Amino acid sequence: MEAQRLDKYISSQLAGVSRKDARELIRRGEVSVNGRTVREPEHKLCPSADSVVLGGKAVGYKQYLYIMLNKPAGVVCATRDRLSETVTELLPEELRREGLFPAGRLDKDSVGFVLITDDGALAHRLLSPKNHVPKTYFVRLRDPIDEKAAEDFLSGVTIDGGEKCLPAELRALSERECELTLREGKYHQIKRMFACRGNEVVYLKRISIGGAALDPSLSEGQARELTEDELLRLTKA
């Protein structure tokens, strides 16, 4: 692994600590590397092997962060927005750092599992239409689900007179509620799939991405890091 400057390492791993703050902390003698106080911000270290301590607390190294957020309605899947609150703005202080972005989109009025990461390669793998990573949604509808919906969705419906959807699996839960698994993510796809049948989605929640399920103990607006197991499951169906 490439050596990194100490000031850069500290600001990249700690939320709210700028490069300038890091330099000041180092010059004040508050930082040690492998047990020895280091006062030079330009000191080079190996992030995966060296142990850095700031004010008595270890500054552990994480190359990437993987965060599960239970998105509430009214929040947009972006890092910045002029009008609305964004998913990255919801993150608690200890999970914030430069470079985080939502890997994929949910509509503003949809809720549920949003992955927030700074691992561009993983996000690309999850989002690439070629990879067909399944995403499952809980859907509540205005009217009863028509009898042919499951069969039609499974053979791939055409929406808005032209866009052909990949096969999608519908599992009815009640007259107006179902789980629907998509292997792609067209704009407003589920709403449009049901609108074509004269129905309307009144509530939409993403409950899993790949083989990783939304933690039911996370209430809306809450976030936590993914476990190792969830991270492995993410790209596996």
| Residue closer to ligand URA, measured from CB, 13 or 110 | 110
| Residue labelled with tokens 């629907």 | 180
Contact 112, 71 (CB under 8 A): yes
Q: Does position 183 bind ligand URA by CB under 6 A? A: no
Least separation in angstroms between residue 88's CB and ligand URA is 17
The single-letter code of the amino acid at 59 is V
What is the H or E stretch that residue 9 is in?
helix 6-13
Determine whether 107 is an active site residue: yes
Stretch that binds ligand URA, among 37-45, 94-102, 148-156, 187-195 (CB under 6 A): 187-195
User: Binding of ligand URA at residue 189 (CB under 6 A)?
Assistant: yes
Residue with Cβ nearer ligand URA (97 or 135): 135
Of 7, 107, 215, 229, the active-site residue reads 107
Rounded least distance, CB 113 to ligand URA, Å? 11
Decide: is 188 part of the binding site for ligand URA (CB under 6 A). yes
The DSSP bridge partners found for residue 178 are 139, 172
Is 70 a binding residue for ligand URA by CB under 6 A? The answer is no
CB of 139 to ligand URA, least distance (A): 9
- 139-178 mask for ligand URA (x: CB under 6 A)? ----------------------------------------
| Residues 6 or more apart whose Cβ sits within 8 Å of residue 87 | 69, 71, 75, 76, 77, 78, 102, 114, 116
Q: Please give the residues from 82 up to 141 whose contact with ligand URA meets the rule CB under 6 A.
A: 106-107, 110
Beta carbon nearer to ligand URA, 94 or 109: 109
DSSP letter (8 states) at residue 184? S
Stretch that binds ligand URA, among 1-9, 44-52, 182-190, 227-235 (CB under 6 A): 182-190
Among 204, 209, 212, 214, binds ligand URA (CB under 6 A): 204
Rounded Cα distance, 63 and 25, in Å: 22
User: Residue 63 in 3-state DSSP?
Assistant: coil
Q: Can you tell me the distance from the alpha carbon of 52 to that of 39, in angstroms, rounded to the nearest whole number? A: 13
Sign of the alpha-carbon dihedral angle for 128, 200, 112, 169: negative
Burial 59-81 (b: 16+ CB within 10 A, else e): bebeeebbbbbbbbeebbbbeee
Point out which residues bind ligand URA (CB under 6 A).
106-107, 110, 188-191, 204
Residues classed as catalytic:
107
